[in-house]
Amino acid sequence: MKEIKLKSFDGYKYIDGGVCAAFGFRAGGVYAGIKKSPKSDGNDSDIKHKNDLGMIQSDVVCNTAAVYTQNKVKGAPILVTRANLEATGGKARAVIVNSKNANTCNADGEQKAEKMCELTAKMLGCEPQEVVVASTGVIGEILPIEPIEKAMPMLVMSLCVSNNDAAAEAIMTTDTFPKQNAVEFIVGGKVCHLGGMSKGSGMINPNMATTLNFLTTDCAVSVEMLQKALNETVDKTYNCLSIDGDQSTNDMAVLMSSGMAKNEEIASDGADFEAFKQALYIVMMNLTRMLAIDGEGATKLIECNVSGAESEKDARAIAKSVISSSLVKTAIFGEDANWGRILCAIGYADAEFDIKKMFVSISSESGEITVCENGSGVAFSEEKAAEILAQEEIIINISLGNGSGKASAWGCDLTYDYVKINGEYRT
């Protein structure tokens, strides 16, 4: 299992539990058999039974915020979840989510997504509109509802043990490890918790809530401020991630607050809101880095830090452009300090800069080398470069000297295995 190095933040403590770390939430996951092996003739004992159906449930009605993919081809679960949260004014009790089938581009897609909400509501004793539904997997194959219906009692039973690991496994597709993170922090003198889980490995591009992301907290926050915190943090985390430039039809990030930490509800800007937003940033930033290092076929995490831009927007455009470049990604895979490709990717970003003021360095645990000063190449030790690039986390630092705008973006290298995974995915 690939691991990221967790950075420390004053006042925030990493804890276990993922989406179950906050008071009031349970989670579970089971193997429902949503996609049978086409070769097994009903006998699929040869398949590894990875969980493919997950649930998050709250004891109380939660204030809930969500962001969705900007892809104009939207999965049916996106349409149904959006309608549900609009109907309830941002209140939810549960999440039902499956992998192995995206339930997208099917004539009966919305009907099936609504059915998943109904089945969940019936088991949990809530309204179907209080259910968030999500699907991930192959596009354009009819979603079989029978295995989901059959698995529902087992799924609800799995909630009893606060099974966040089982839920995190259930949402995986080509992911090689489950992605969870959680922190403990103080708001208004009360101990609060915030945790989350993510899935995603391919079809990931920075444009609103890439991948599936579920976040829970017991910190009391109004629906409006939850949505504000989620929007602002998505821009700095998930939207700064690119694996392959393909933006999914089914992306969604959902943030639920049970309010069970008993702090005074955060209903406006201020110190409490900032403290809460920082917790959200830490968890989402770490999940983003986990998504990056687990990009399809990836062997390395690439982080690009841009400073000295005219604006944060410009800094972000440049950072994203660099980590999205196929040529930068293959160079990092080949452990080749081919910095000309970094400058090329900076050059086609939608941002202003003065090439004559640009500095670029490459760093990792093994040290740092400057490769470009004032827009021109500088001599560096190829030996030192090779040492730096042999590490798993590679950092590209760009200083523009134009202002105070800064931003980070995360991606991964492009490898033979990306081609292998995606050349053979459906079959």
- Judged by CB, which is closer to a second copy: 36, or 228? 36
Distances (CA, A) of 69 to 34, 110, 238: 24, 17, 11
234 lines the binding site for a second copy (CB under 8 A):
no
What is the per-residue binding string for a second copy in 350-369, x denoting contact by CB under 8 A? ---x-x--------------
Pairing of strands 301-309, 393-399: parallel
203 lines the binding site for a second copy (CB under 8 A):
yes
211 lines the binding site for a second copy (CB under 8 A):
no
Helix H or strand E segment including 153: helix 146-158
Sheet architecture: strand order including 359-364: 241-242, 405-412, 301-309, 393-399, 359-364, 367-373, 376-377
Handedness of CA 390, 395, 396, 401 (dihedral sign): negative
Stretch that binds a second copy, among 7-15, 184-192, 227-235, 320-328 (CB under 8 A): 320-328
341 lines the binding site for a second copy (CB under 8 A):
yes
Among 338, 366, 391, 397, binds a second copy (CB under 8 A): 338
Nearest distance from residue 145's CB to a second copy, in Å? 17
Burial of 264 (0-12, 13-18, 19+ CB in 10 A): exposed
144 lines the binding site for a second copy (CB under 8 A):
no
Q: Which of 370, 327, 368, 369 is nearest to 346 (CA)?
A: 327
418 lines the binding site for a second copy (CB under 8 A):
yes
Contacts of 270 (CB under 8 A, 6+ apart): none
311 lines the binding site for a second copy (CB under 8 A):
no
Q: Which residues of 190-207 are buried (b: 16+ CB within 10 A; e: fewer)?
A: bebbbbbbbbbbbbbbbb
- Whether residue 347 contacts residue 358, with contact meaning beta carbons closer than 8 Å, is answered with no
- Judged by CB, which is closer to a second copy: 40, or 268? 40
- Judged by CB, which is closer to a second copy: 93, or 341? 341
- Judged by CB, which is closer to a second copy: 144, or 188? 144
Site for a second copy in 114-133 (CB under 8 A): none
Among 103, 129, 205, 263, binds a second copy (CB under 8 A): 205
Burial of 58 (0-12, 13-18, 19+ CB in 10 A): buried
401 lines the binding site for a second copy (CB under 8 A):
no
248 lines the binding site for a second copy (CB under 8 A):
yes
Stretch that binds a second copy, among 136-144, 217-225, 271-279, 391-399 (CB under 8 A): 136-144
Contacts of 235 (CB under 8 A, 6+ apart): 316
Give the integer Cα–Cα distance in Å for 263 and 362.
44
Secondary-structure breakdown of the chain: helix, strand, coil percentages, each rounded to the nearest 5: 35, 25, 40
309 lines the binding site for a second copy (CB under 8 A):
no
138 lines the binding site for a second copy (CB under 8 A):
yes
Among 7, 39, 48, 426, binds a second copy (CB under 8 A): 426
Q: What are the residue numbers of the active site?
A: 210
Give the integer Cα–Cα distance in Å for 206 and 241.
5
- Judged by CB, which is closer to a second copy: 224, or 373? 373
Stretch that binds a second copy, among 113-121, 228-236, 280-288, 332-340 (CB under 8 A): 332-340
- Whether residue 106 contacts residue 141, with contact meaning beta carbons closer than 8 Å, is answered with yes
Among 153, 270, 340, 367, binds a second copy (CB under 8 A): 340
Stretch that binds a second copy, among 99-107, 122-130, 147-155, 304-312 (CB under 8 A): 99-107
Among 5, 37, 73, 381, binds a second copy (CB under 8 A): 73
Contacts of 239 (CB under 8 A, 6+ apart): 206, 207, 208, 209, 210
- Whether residue 22 contacts residue 195, with contact meaning beta carbons closer than 8 Å, is answered with yes
Residues that bind a second copy (CB under 8 A): 70-74, 102, 104-107, 138-142, 202-203, 205, 207, 244-249, 324-327, 330-331, 333-334, 336, 338-341, 343-349, 353, 355, 371-372, 375-377, 414-416, 418-420, 422-427
